[in-house]
Amino acid sequence: MTGATKAVSAAIALVVTLTVVPGRAVAQCPSWEDMLAEGSLVQIEAILRDEIDLTLSLVYLNPPRLGSCALGEALFEGLDSNLLSAGPPVQAFWVGVSGRSADQFSPEQLWVVQGEKELGLSLKAEFDTETRLGRMIEFAAEYIVFYNDEIDRSLPMRLIYISSIGPVSEVYRLDAAYR
Q: What is the CA radius of gyration of the chain?
A: 15
The model's pLDDT over 10-40, given as tens digits with 9 standing for 90+, comes to: 444 444 444 444 444 445 899 999 999 999 9
Angle in degrees, CA 115, 84, 145, rounded to 5 = 65
Domain residue ranges in the chain = 3-178
User: Which residue did the predictor score with more confidence, 144 or 164?
Assistant: 144
pTM of the model: 0.83
CB 34 within 8 A of CB 41: no
150: left (phi over 0), alpha (psi -120 to 50) or beta: beta
The model's pLDDT over 117-163, given as tens digits with 9 standing for 90+, comes to: 999 999 999 878 889 999 999 999 999 999 999 999 999 999 999 99
Cα(13)–Cα(50) distance, integer angstroms: 42
Nearest to 126 by CA among 134, 117, 115, 118: 134
